[in-house]
Amino acid sequence: MIAILTLLSLGSIMTSNTGLFYQCTLNIGALYPTTQTLDAYVLNALVNDGSNFSVTAAITLFQSVVGCVMVVVVNLITRKISPEHSLF
């Protein structure tokens, strides 16, 4: 059970908590370079420049592809070590 939950949580390794990095800091100048994550960048691009859909879609697709690759690779490693704990 723990192995399956770990595998599934690796799929969201590229995401961040938008509430923490965007809403709490309110884009304060001193904190902006430190708290600029991919999700916060996508939200800033959509809020500030509403016509920038292609860049935000590409970033979101990149996050999804990296998450999917992570799940598949770690599942292959898990299948080599312990086949009964792999997802597929």
Per-domain boundaries in the chain: 2-85
85 close to 78: Cβ distance less than 8 angstroms? yes
Cβ–Cβ < 8 Å for 39, 16: yes
Alpha-carbon distance of 46 to 28, in angstroms, equals 18
Q: Kindly tell me if the per-residue pLDDT of 40 is higher than 90.
A: no
Residue type, position 9, single letter: S
Residue 55 tokens, joined: 């860049």
Is the predicted pLDDT of residue 31 greater than 90, yes or no? no
**For the residues 51-63, what does the mean pLDDT come to?**
88
Tell me, what's the pLDDT at 66? 92
74 Cβ neighbours under 8 A, 6+ residues apart: 6, 7, 10
